[in-house]
Every structure is written in structure tokens, then in C-alpha cells.
Structure 1
Amino acid sequence: MPAVLMVLSAADHWTLRDGTRHPTGYWAEEVAEPHRLFRAAGWRVTVATPGGVPPTVDRLSLRFPAGAPWRLRRYRRHLAAHAEEFGSPRDLSELDPTDYDAVFYPGGHGPMEDLAVDPVSGALLTRALHAGMPVALLCHAPAATLAATDADGRWPFTGYTLTGLSNREELLNRFARKAPWLLEDQLVTRGARYVRGRVPLRPFVTVDRNLYTGQNPASSVRLTRRLIADHSAAPALAVRVSRVVAAPPERVYALLSDITRMGEWSPETYAARWREPGRRFTGSNRIGRFYRWRMTATVTEAAPGRAFAFTTAWPSSSSWRYALEPVDGGTRITESVTRAAPQLPLVRAIQRVVGVRDRAAHLRAGMATTLERLDAALRREDGDRTRTVPPASR
């Protein structure tokens, strides 16, 4: 059973520039949703805070407009059902991050007050990062990285691509104009490659090596599902198909990474276009005549000649990857898909109506067709090149 260390702030206020204390703590969605998803996926969760102090929920995170009324009720119910667990956290100083499979930091303004300057938390993050463990930071939680230092005094997150609550989003809070500092500014100043989604307050997740970050509260589910999908011993779905094609890896990669051609080989995706070139794209999909949907995908790996990967958020959060391996006479393409959580009951019901009773078998057949069509596309290109060469030079 995978185990995750969930580190919460112990602060109940955020000291502003004028010395006033703004009541805060952890953000309900950022704790309740990841905790729920980890438990549902069979992960063991250990809650810890600096000094083992019971954490405080930010009351604003349980009121509109922090979420739709039905969502807020769900957060309250989950936190109440696990009140004993959250009310008696472990002391962070007594824990070794390498005893766990992942470290997860939720946000709220609390981390700006205590974790940003906590040497115990900073040392834990540094050790986890260098050990290659998955480290996930959500919304304001990247503030905790500011307390991390290497043995030579350098910031260990220098050069990492990461996200966190943007200046635009922070300044939507009136009291934030009194903030002593803003998270985005500090991360950039320290040397991180800060990125953010195009639309404020919408889900945005980025992964760089073993560092997982989510931009805002709305990213809670997507970040957690990505972490679970990447590191669960037994995902809800895992399908893999391979095929050897007579082309070098670099050429195969060029074809795969051109998502505008995805409709040529995928049985389900009939059109795709970039929303942010090289980073995000949308696809139009169908099964049969009547079941159609659109998916949004985020590129998570783009290694020319080696691998191309992306995650999809709707209707199911899935991770797709094409691994390229040079072999005699060409390239072995291995296409794989993993899904951490089962599909929604409504989605499964619709799929049964259109004749898809075994989604894994359906995907396996579709992926095999995809690789067959990729092979055919490469062969056509070879034929076109041969026909364009003058006979005298053949």
C-alpha cells in the first residue's frame, strides 16, 4: 500500500505588512479532496504539522464563493468524518520522508506564515527532492520551498519548472494588497521557472522530474490524480501496446508530437489542435455515431527521440505515454495509458450503451490500431520520398 506524508501548516493567521493578523490556516478543498482521493486509491495517509500542532481550517474556504454549496458541504463532511486524524497530527520533526512513497503539501495562506521559514520542513523537502521522491505542492504550499537549502547554502529548487498561486490570483483578495510578499515573485527571485495557466482560478498542474505542483485550489483534484496515476502500485486501469516500425526514433517522435495529425491514426480522436503550442491541446473524440466528447490534454514529457506523454482531464483523468526504443531496423513504440481512479458511473453507463462494456479491451484494440496507422503513415512517407527522387539518382 503506497504511503503519503501530508504536511499541513500549523498557523492560524498570516501577518500582513502593517502588522495586522489575517485569520487563516489550510484551505478546505486542498486538504479534503486530496485526502479523499488518496484514501479512495488505497493510499495510507499520515498527517503532520510543525510541532504536531492541530491545524486550523480557513473559515473562508468553507463559504461561498470558495466553491459551489454542494462542494462545500462535501468538504465539511469529509473533514468532520476525519476530525480525529486531522486533530492529532504527527510532529514533523519526528518523521523521515523516506519512510513514505510521496510528500504532499496542501496550501492556504498558512504556509506563508510558518512553513516558509520552518527549517524542519525545509530540510524534509530538500531530502525528499534529492532522494527522487515525488514531492507535491499545491497553491500556496510552494512557499514551504523557501525554507529549503542545500548543504552549500543554495536553493535546491533552482531551475525547476513549477507553479503556485499567481500574483493575479493572489491580488483578487483585498487583504493581499497588504501582503509582505507574493509567492510568484519569491519563486522567480529564487531561481525557479514559474509557469501558470492561461485562465486564472482554473486547474493547472505541472511536473518537473519528481516535483509536482498545482496552481490553485481548483487544481487539487488534478494534482492528486496525477500523483496517484504516476505512483500507484495498482492503478484503476493500465493498458500497454507495442509495435516495431521501420523508422528511426527521431522521425517517429516528430510524427507523434505533431498532435494536429492525431486524427489520422487514433480511432477515437478525429481532430486535435494546440491551445498552447507544445504544452496544451484539445481533442475531439467519438465512439460510434452518437457518443462524442472533447478532452483537454497537458503535455508532461517531450523528449525528442525518446518519449512523448500527456495527461487528460475529462471525461477521465488519464496519463498517456509513447516510449521510443531504438532496435535493429527501426523503433519499438510502446503506447501506454494509466488511470488512477475508475471512470465516473455516468461515463461507464454511456459507454455500455454504445457497446463498450470492457474499456480496457476497447482501449487495447484502439491503441493497436493507432500504432498500425502510425506504421502505415511512416511507410507512405517513405513511398512518397521514393517517388519524388529522380530515377537517375536512385
Structure 2
Amino acid sequence: MPQPKVVFVLTSHNQLGNTGKPSGWYLPELVHPYEILAPYVQIVIASPNGGEAPLDPGSVDASKDDAQSQNFFINKSALWKNTQTLSSLLGHANEFEAIFFVGGHGPMFDLATNKIAHNLVNEFYDNNKIIAAVCHGPAALVNVRLGSGLSLLDGQRVTGISNSEEEIEQVTSFMPFKLENELNRVSGGKYEKGSEWEENVVVARGERLITGQNPASAAGVGKAIYEAIFGELKSKRDL
């Protein structure tokens, strides 16, 4: 039996708004779900523009004590330097089990308004596949409208980076919108905030919608994707 396939989506936006400060996707938010899932699934990494997806250098510094992230950074750069275009995946959602949007500030500026990303999410929804995101990654979901005209997140429990966490990092003024506010609005008040910088993973819509609040939630999102694909974990200590 071939392994199930999962798409990881990275941003193509390389700076914090128009500040000129380099940004992009957040290292541990790719690494921890990737390392959990890679032994069991085929992972395809994509981005809006394809090719090299910009890694936020600040995330490398912030994870300097995270051996798994540092090893990944040193040895697996080909994974994010050779991404597929999102457009190349259109029409192929039925070949995958899940789509996962990695966080970092970048998704707020490109994936939030990217029509190809939104069409792809619709395809995954229509095929009853898993849709997952972490931290700023849920920005890719806030503007997704289903064929019915309703928001993808309407009435669904959901999480993502909180306003207070953004304020602690002093980036609120650079963001095009407050993700917590938008997630709460489009879900009909279903946004769920956990403790700041602690793991908070929300699983909704019969395990078809999985979101994590912050970098500490990345591994938990990876485990939830695994469980949604394969059922209850046989040995949680292996993860």
C-alpha cells in the first residue's frame, strides 16, 4: 500500500509587511509536524510562487536550543528551496489526505488573499480531506468561501495566534489584520484562546479541521493530523 500524501504549504512573502525586515515561514512550525508525519506519509511542500520559500531568520534564532529544528535547518534545506507551486496541485486534492498551512508572518500577506490557495482549500473540503494550520497559518482560511457562500470556518471551533501574543512580540501594527479577530468573526464567535505561548490545538468538524494557536502547538497539530489519518495512535511515545 502506498503511503498517504500530505501537502505542507509555506508562504512566499519574505518581509514583515512593507518594513523591509525579513520574514517568511516559521522554522519549528514546519519541522515538528514534518518530523512527526514523515515516517508515515509522503509530504509534498508547496508555496504560492514555488521554488524557494522564504524562511524567517528570526525563527532560526528563536529555535537555537531546539536540536530538531537546528538539525533540519542544516540538513534539509532542499525541502523549502524547491517547493512546488500551489497551482500545480489544483485538481489533485483527491490524491491527498491533508493540507497543512505552516505559520510565520508571511501567510498574513499572501495566503490570506491568495485565490489559488482558497480554491485548493475548497477542493480539499469538497473531497472531505483534512485542513490544518498553525499560528499565522489559519490566515489562509479566513477568507475561504465554500460553494454555499458560507465561510469555511462558519460555526467551527478554531484557533490561531492570539492578539495578546502578537502584542507581546510587538508586531500588531505591522499586520494587515488581527488574526484572532478575523477567526472569531468568520467562525461566529468560535475562536478558542489558550494560554500564551503554550500548546493549544483545536480539532473540529469530525477531525477534518485542525488548528494550533502558536509555535508550541506545532507538534500537537502534527499529531492530530496523524490521528485523523490513521486513527488513534498505537504508541504515543513513538511521537
Query: What TM-score results when the alignment is normalised by the length of structure 2?
Result: 0.90
Q: How far off is 1:101 after superposition?
A: 1.1
Q: Which residue number in structure 2 is paired with residue 52 of structure 1? A: 50
Q: Determine the C-alpha separation between the residues in 1 that align with 2:80 and 2:36.
A: 16
Please list, as runs of the form range in 1=range in 2, the aligned pairs for 1:84-99 lying within 5 A after superposition: 84-95=78-89, 96-99=92-95
Alpha carbons 1:228, 1:340 under 8 Å: kept = no
Q: Determine the C-alpha separation between the residues in 2 that align with 1:101 and 1:119.
A: 21
Q: Which residue number in structure 2 is paired with residue 363 of structure 1? A: none
Task: Tell me which amino acid in the other structure corresponds to 2:72.
Answer: H
Alpha carbons 2:158, 2:187 under 8 Å: kept = no
Task: Tell me which amino acid in the other structure corresponds to 1:25.
Answer: G
> Taking structure 1 as reference, are residues 136 and 339 closer, same or farther at Cα in structure 2, changes over 3 Å only?
farther
Q: Determine the C-alpha separation between the residues in 1 that align with 2:131 and 2:95.
A: 14
Q: How far off is 1:181 after superposition?
A: 1.4
Q: Which residue number in structure 1 is paired with residue 192 of structure 2? A: 195
Q: Determine the C-alpha separation between the residues in 2 that align with 1:204 and 1:129.
A: 23
Structure with higher strand content: 1
Q: Which residue number in structure 2 is paired with residue 238 of structure 1? A: none
Please list, as runs of the form range in 1=range in 2, the aligned pairs for 1:110-189 lying within 5 A after superposition: 110-189=106-185
Q: Determine the C-alpha separation between the residues in 2 that align with 1:146 and 1:223.
A: 18
Q: Which residue number in structure 1 is paired with residue 28 of structure 2? A: 29
Q: 3-state SS of the aligned residue for 1:230?
A: helix
Q: 3-state SS of the aligned residue for 1:212?
A: strand
Q: Determine the C-alpha separation between the residues in 2 that align with 1:207 and 1:189.
A: 18
Alpha carbons 2:93, 2:127 under 8 Å: kept = no
Higher relative contact order (CA 8 A, sep 6+): 2
The C-alpha deviation readout for 1:286-320, integer Å capped at 9, x for no partner, is xxxxxxxxxxxxxxxxxxxxxxxxxxxxxxxxx5x
Q: Determine the C-alpha separation between the residues in 2 that align with 1:8 and 1:147.
A: 17
Alpha carbons 1:169, 1:201 under 8 Å: kept = yes
Q: Determine the C-alpha separation between the residues in 1 that align with 2:141 and 2:218.
A: 19
Q: Which residue number in structure 2 is paired with residue 366 of structure 1? A: none
Q: Determine the C-alpha separation between the residues in 2 that align with 1:343 and 1:44.
A: 18
Alpha carbons 1:11, 1:113 under 8 Å: kept = yes
Alpha carbons 1:115, 1:147 under 8 Å: kept = no
Q: Which residue number in structure 2 is paired with residue 107 of structure 1? A: 103
Q: How far off is 1:80 after superposition?
A: 2.9
What is the root-mean-square deviation in Å for CA atoms of aligned residues?
A: 1.9
Q: How many residues align?
A: 232
Q: How far off is 1:340 after superposition?
A: 5.6
Q: 3-state SS of the aligned residue for 2:141?
A: helix
> Taking structure 1 as reference, are residues 226 and 151 closer, same or farther at Cα in structure 2, changes over 3 Å only?
closer
> Taking structure 1 as reference, are residues 52 and 343 closer, same or farther at Cα in structure 2, changes over 3 Å only?
closer
> Taking structure 1 as reference, are residues 76 and 215 closer, same or farther at Cα in structure 2, changes over 3 Å only?
same
The C-alpha deviation readout for 1:243-297, integer Å capped at 9, x for no partner, is xxxxxxxxxxxxxxxxxxxxxxxxxxxxxxxxxxxxxxxxxxxxxxxxxxxxxxx
Q: 3-state SS of the aligned residue for 2:46?
A: strand
Q: How far off is 1:22 after superposition?
A: 3.7
Query: What TM-score results when the alignment is normalised by the length of structure 1?
Result: 0.56
Please list, as runs of the form range in 1=range in 2, the aligned pairs for 1:228-247 lying within 5 A after superposition: 228-232=226-230
Task: Tell me which amino acid in the other structure corresponds to 2:42.
Answer: R
The C-alpha deviation readout for 1:124-182, integer Å capped at 9, x for no partner, is 11221232111111110110013412235432221111100011111111232343311
Q: Which residue number in structure 2 is paired with residue 13 of structure 1? A: 15
Larger Rg: 1
Q: 3-state SS of the aligned residue for 1:46?
A: strand
Alpha carbons 2:109, 2:176 under 8 Å: kept = no
Gaps of at least 5 residues in structure 2 are none
